[in-house]
Amino acid sequence: MKRGLLVIGLMLVGFGATSAFAQSRAGTSAAPELLIPVGAKYEATAGSANAFVTGVDAIYWNPAGLDMEKSVGGALFSYRQYIAGIGISYLAVGGRFGGLGSLALSIRSFNIGTIDVTTEDQPDGTGQQISPTFFTGGITYSKRLTDRISVGATVNLIDEGFGNVNASAVGFDIGVQYENLIGINGLGLGVAVKNVGTEMQYGGSGLYVQATIPSAGIGLSYYKVEAASFQLPSVIDIGLGYKKSLDHNNSLEVMGTFENNNFGIDEYRAGAQYDFMKTLAIRAGYLFSQTGGAFGSSAGTVSLFEGWSFGAGFDLSKLTGLGLSFDYAFVPARYFGANNLFDIHVAF
């Protein structure tokens, strides 16, 4: 217990100094796509299951949960129908290597489509189009230290590009999970610090601009626009949850997570999951956000996804003997159409 509390304490202290002025820096981070959740299984509960995520699903939410999975390994393919016609594809595969712990690889890409190129002289378009590319690839390691404590870390390579400019960075996630907290069977704690890493700065030939300087006697020439650099959107998630077996065929989980966003709005997430015969899962969650601080009361800016989310999962393992399951989540969005998430899980 002392070991787990020490790890959690160090994570909280290390993050505290960077989050003191979070709300006043909203919108000034790089790579905001890192904050878009992946996976229908836990997004259906509004991302509240930080203490209970396991297997390859845990890579995004809390990497400590990777080694908490009961199966030897697994794979996940997830697709999210995001806002403005953007599609997000996610693939992860991982496995346990005996007493050494678990290792996983993950890839996330965005399908943004094409965008018309405009300039100061041609605001209606030049006739050209660009296709932005947003890509994140990661490697995750997790180790169960005791029968109740697990730790994990992820190293992500983030790459963005459009036209003739590009930016990249390296980000780190670390997490810890604690089962049967303070001796209470079914009570869990999870803490994760995510997206701490190098700054991002765009570069490339697209930043060179044609210009003439008549006063200096210089004709047509080029100068380079120096892009500013920005930090990654670091966050810390602190979650609690409680699992209860109602009888041989029914179980219930209730959980909550607080997310402190270093560059935006803090979020409070609550959710529940009901399982029937370990085959059918019904899920629901609620996300509440508030600006607070320098921006006043909770009546101000709120999260795009504030409100209810719903979902369900169907596990074919008991019926077919195959480690195959499907999950779906419905997440309403302000000002845009609702998001639909689809997952395919394979356990082996």
Q: pLDDT tens-digit profile of 258-307?
A: 999 888 888 999 999 999 998 999 999 999 987 644 333 444 567 889 99
pLDDT band (50, 70, 90) for residue 15: very low
Q: Which pair of tokens denotes residue 187?
A: 């009570």
Position 292 scores a pLDDT of 47
- Number of domains the chain is built from: 1
pLDDT tens for 87-108 read 999 999 999 998 899 999 999 9
Could you give the CA distance from residue 56 to residue 225 in angstroms, rounded to a whole number? 41
Average pLDDT, the chain: 88
CATH of residue 120: 2.40.160.40
Domain boundaries, position 143: 2-347
pLDDT tens for 178-232 read 999 888 999 999 999 999 999 999 999 888 887 766 666 556 677 788 899 999 9
Could you give the CA distance from residue 156 to residue 101 in angstroms, rounded to a whole number? 19
Beta-ladder partners of 329: 311, 341
Of 322 and 152, more confident: 152
pLDDT tens for 24-52 read 556 678 999 999 999 999 999 999 999 99
Q: How far is CA 24 from CA 235, 285, 291, in A?
A: 15, 28, 10
Using left for φ > 0, alpha for ψ between -120 and 50, and beta otherwise, residue 91 falls in beta
Whether this model's pTM surpasses 0.85: yes
Exposure pattern of 6-17 as b/e (b: 16+ CB <10 Å)? ebbeebeeebee
pLDDT band (50, 70, 90) for residue 123: confident
Position 1 scores a pLDDT of 56
Exposure pattern of 87-98 as b/e (b: 16+ CB <10 Å)? ebebbbbbbbee
149 CB-near residues (< 8 Å, 6+ apart): 3, 4, 7, 176, 177, 178, 179
Could you give the CA distance from residue 252 to residue 264 in angstroms, rounded to a whole number? 32
